[in-house]
Chain A
Amino acid sequence: MSALLSARGLRLAFGGVKAADGIDLDVMEHEFLAIIGPNGAGKTTFINMSTGYLRPQAGSITYDGTHQLLGLPPRRIVKLGVGRSFQLPQLFTEHTVLENAALALAAREGIWRPFAPLLRPAIRAEAEELLERFGLLHLADRRADALNEGARKLADIAMAVALRPRLLLMDEPTSGVAAADKMQVVETLVRVLREARVTAVFVEHDMEVVARFADRVAVWGQGRIAALGPPGEILNDPEVQRTVIGVVPNAVA
């Protein structure tokens, strides 16, 4: 197995806060890598740096062995096959869910067609199929700002998937999803991503989700990777349990 994304020596400080303090990480092709860690550890910053939203002060990010992502704007990185979803879903709020999906699909082929309607039959069919896969088809005609948080999250990820990424970075895909729906949402998501043979990195706070779906887990702490390994090993590590999961060993009730 080869590394699809290689980060080396990433550093970025906001004022005195070190959001990245020497991050080295290889993301392997076809794996599901979970990122866990306390708030403010720099998890989102890593995704922001990898997708061109933030520029690290030092380091390098190599994609697919040849492409240096550093200094590229988000739209160029997306074109290379690195997609992302957002902690705060980034939807076109005045468009319907169907139009949102259709725009993402149209963007893949280039949107520079001033005379072809967005909702032409081919794109409409593909958009409906995409929404179907995410279980969103019944919401197709709703405006995006009328959705609940869980549906917004899924629509946000669907738009990233529409671009057919090889690597998808997801920032807290399950935050805001109602607890009762969570496992079903993640199962849907994982099925879609496995079918599309997408390599996935996801920031996650729910350890049950991590345990069930991650191939590897990276633990973030104060801008560094504190631990990295298979979920069985990492999630049972007492240090990780204490700092991230919040389990106090031998706690007296």
Chain B
Amino acid sequence: MGWLSENGLLLGLAALDGLAYAASVFMVAVGLNLVFGVMRVLNVAHGSFYAIGAYTAASIGLAIAAAGLPSWLSLPALLVAAALVGLVLGPPIERLLLRRVEGQEPVLQLLVTFALFMILEDVQKLIWGVQPVSYDTPLKLLGTVDVPFGEDVIPFTAYQLYVLPGIAILTLVGLAWFLRRTLTGRIIVAVTTDREAATAMGINAARVTMLTFTCGTALAALGGALAVPTTAMVPGIGASTIVLSFAVVATAGLGQIEGAAVSALLIGLGRSFAVYFEPELEVVVPYLIMVAVLLLRPQGLFGVAETRRI
């Protein structure tokens, strides 16, 4: 009881922080998941899309400010940045690179995305330098909210409280609706379930693949764009992001979209509590959660164990 009353506020703050963090991680992880579902390739460069999305959002935001445009534009600018990165990077990478190794050994496909990741890490440094880049106009724009917590209040930014989780929930609901209720969505699901059968039925799998990859790229970039108001971008963030979102996806089970939301929360909160209470363990906690889950359920929390036909 003593510990709780002493650290109650900190606990609350950690929870709010974790929630916001989980929201941005979820966006990246769900994109990774979507791409994996259709292409059966884990895109290691996905973390780079996150970083590039963040840097692009910051650049656009700063350009808006420099041009003297109204500051409310900084919010839609985040979305524009994500769409831009998705459209500029997604199609050529899928068409020129991934399609060339389609159907080849899994280890080769993995290596190709890894090579891409190495390239993009330096591209970021060449464009945006090695100094931390941050852009907090959206944060300041929306101000703070006093969150009641027991007898106290925690002042927390409206951006992290409403915008981040809001967009994450919209993405989750929107994606679930899109995949289940629209024709294009159903086609994506069909290709995910059985590419051969879908192709045999006349579905243009190549187009579905490009569409999905572009969406996945945009989702990663959106995760980065949404994070840049609260997190300074530094070189190397792409590497930690891909590993973290892999942890989220593996914990949930490959291909699980709602599951990814749950495990993003689990890992986001776990990491946030570590930041506040055992900062040295910040990096370790997400992986501890993942390892613990995988040891108990190798297919992930919500994954279905597959049996291959023999």
Contacts and interface: CB of A to CB of B under 8 A. Distances in A.
Nearest to A90: B310
Interface string B266-310: 000000000000000000000000000000000000000001011
Majority SS at the chain A contact face: loop
A86 B307 contact: no
Interface residues of B, number: 3
Nearest to A171: B310
Interface in A69-97: 86-88, 90
Interface in A27-68: 48, 53-54
A88 B307 contact: no
Contacts, number: 9
Contacts of B307: 53-54
B196 to A, nearest CB: 15
A179 B79 CA distance: 63
A90 B310 CA distance: 8
A87 B310 CA distance: 6
Contacts of A54: 307
A90 B307 CA distance: 15
A87 B309 CA distance: 9
Contacts of B310: 48, 53, 86-88, 90
A54 B310 CA distance: 11
Contacts of A88: 309-310
Contacts of A53: 307, 310
Nearest to B307: A54
A104 to B, nearest CB: 16
Contacts of B309: 88
A87 B307 CA distance: 15
Interface in B124-156: none
A53 B309 CA distance: 10
A104 B274 CA distance: 51
Nearest to A89: B310
Given A53-B307, A86-B310, 7 more contacts: A48-B310, A53-B310, A54-B307, A87-B310, A88-B309, A88-B310, A90-B310
9 contacts: A48-B310, A53-B307, A53-B310, A54-B307, A86-B310, A87-B310, A88-B309, A88-B310, A90-B310
